[in-house]
């Protein structure tokens, strides 16, 4: 579970709207691995969200009428995985207390609507919503989880998209029953956008398949899946990891080389439709 902390000044306008709207997005798009809260750099504890902020949040289905302000504390800073500031001024205040990579400004900054009209608050809410959509990227919302039976239908569809000789539903089901199998799904917004499978036999790991939905390729999903299986293999004290890849699949070969895999051999005419050699690649863990 990744926790996001939204920060403004008084924690009665912008950051509670961001928290409320983001919670709506979490529920609507099934980002079950995300949670959020808010605080203010100069907030008094216990103040209600401003009336205009409550009304503006309603336009996005968010109810922040029960919100109560709170001051930003070292504990809140340390507990957050990501701190999203309403302006660069807030970010600069936090720089001495949090790593720069943990801090982000929402969109191009959200001006303070305090003292303005209801229309000003609505403008802020719309700008917040646009910034939140940009915020929900692969790095933040992707979750790698153990492969379960519920993942099979989407995995089969992905196989049919990706491979000329795809795995069947029964093949995936047999992996769930195989004690030597290590299988993981990449979930985004409640859907399977990729998966990776491997077998660990006598401390030698063989990656059986890895696939990513075409619209999510070249966005780091395959790298995260590969890193996950490498980390699992290291934790199980494996000696090496081996995989096969089509000779023409240069993008995949370059990815594997980036993770330390080296060419170990060739399997002639290994692949079908079309017939093609397989490059055998190995990464030694010891």
Looking at the annotation, which residues are catalytic? 244, 256
> Is beta strand 34-40 parallel, antiparallel or unpaired with respect to 191-201?
unpaired
Angle subtended at Cα 259 by Cα 257 and Cα 262, rounded to the nearest 5 degrees: 40
218 DSSP 8-state letter = T
Count of CB atoms within 10 A of residue 25's CB? 22
Q: What number of CA atoms fall less than 13 Å from residue 122's CA on the CB side?
A: 6
Q: Is 264 exposed, middle or buried (0-12, 13-18, 19+ CB in 10 A)?
A: middle
Q: What is the dihedral of CA 86, 88, 91, 95, to 10 degrees?
A: 180
Q: 156 CB contacts (<8 Å, ≥6 apart)?
A: 166, 167, 168, 169, 172
Write 134-137 long-range contacts (CB < 8 A, 24+): 134/107, 135/4, 135/84, 135/104, 135/106, 136/25, 136/29, 136/31
Count of CB atoms within 10 A of residue 206's CB? 16
């Amino acid at each position: 579970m990744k926790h996001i902390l939204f920060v403004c000044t008084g924690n009665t306008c912008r950051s509670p709207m961001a928290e409320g709207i983001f919670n709506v997005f979490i529920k609507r798009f099934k980002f079950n691995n995300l949670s959020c809260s808010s605080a203010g750099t100069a907030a008094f504890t216990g103040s209600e969200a401003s009336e205009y902020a409550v009304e503006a949040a309603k336009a996005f289905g968010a109810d922040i009428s029960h919100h109560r302000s709170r001051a930003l504390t070292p504990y809140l800073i340390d507990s957050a995985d990501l701190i999203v500031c309403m302006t660069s001024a807030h970010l600069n205040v936090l720089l001495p207390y949090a790593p720069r990579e943990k801090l982000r400004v929402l969109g191009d900054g959200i001006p303070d609507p305090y003292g303005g009209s209801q229309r000003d608050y609505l403008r802020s809410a719309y700008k917040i919503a646009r910034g939140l959509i940009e915020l929900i990227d692969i790095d933040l919302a992707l979750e790698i989880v153990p492969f379960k039976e519920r993942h099979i239908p989407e995995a089969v569809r992905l196989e049919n998209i990706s491979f000329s000789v795809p795995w069947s539903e029964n093949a995936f089901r047999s992996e769930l029953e195989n004690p030597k199998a290590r299988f993981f799904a990449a979930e985004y917004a409640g859907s399977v956008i990729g998966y990776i499978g491997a077998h660990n036999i006598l401390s030698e790991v063989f990656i059986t398949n890895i696939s990513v939905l075409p619209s999510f390729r070249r966005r780091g999903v395959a790298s995260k899946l590969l890193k996950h299986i490498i980390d699992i293999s290291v934790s199980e004290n494996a000696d090496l990891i081996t995989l096969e890849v089509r000779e023409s699949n240069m993008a995949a070969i370059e990815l594997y080389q980036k993770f330390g895999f080296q060419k170990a051999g060739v399997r002639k005419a290994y692949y079908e439709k079309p017939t093609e050699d397989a490059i055998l690649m190995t990464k030694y863990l010891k």
